């Protein structure tokens, strides 16, 4: 239910308390999402290694934490 509220709040943009957490760094984000969080359809942009596919797909959480997406592939803090 918390994720549903988060998604609805992001769509409406009317709520100040959304249920989404804004993390300060990848260590904090990975405590909740061990493999990162990304947008639907996102593809890990890796160079020479196997792309991460086990990240949590959640557009609302990604939008709250897109500042942690260093390579701009729509996946924040991806980790195998």
Residues 6+ apart with CB under 8 A from 49: none
Residues 6+ apart with CB under 8 A from 31: none
Q: Please report where in the chains the tokens 């195998």 appear, as a residue.
A: 80
Predicted confidence (pLDDT) per residue in 6-53, tens digit: 655 454 443 445 578 999 999 999 999 999 999 999 999 876 688 999
Q: If you average pLDDT over residues 44-71, what whole number do you get?
A: 92
pLDDT at position 54 over 90:
yes
The C-alpha atoms of residue 78 and residue 16 are separated, in whole angstroms, by 27
Residues 6+ apart with CB under 8 A from 71: 45
Q: What is the reported pTM?
A: 0.75
Q: Please report where in the chains the tokens 């308390």 appear, as a residue.
A: 17
Q: What is the DSSP letter of 77?
A: S
């Amino acid at each position: 239910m918390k994720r549903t509220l988060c998604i609805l709040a992001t769509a409406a943009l009317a709520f100040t308390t959304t249920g989404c957490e804004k993390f300060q760094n990848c260590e904090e984000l990975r405590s909740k999402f061990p493999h990162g969080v990304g947008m639907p359809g996102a593809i890990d942009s890796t160079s020479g290694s196997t792309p991460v596919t086990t990240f949590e797909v959640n557009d609302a959480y990604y939008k709250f934490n897109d500042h942690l997406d260093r390579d701009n592939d729509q996946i924040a803090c991806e980790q195998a």
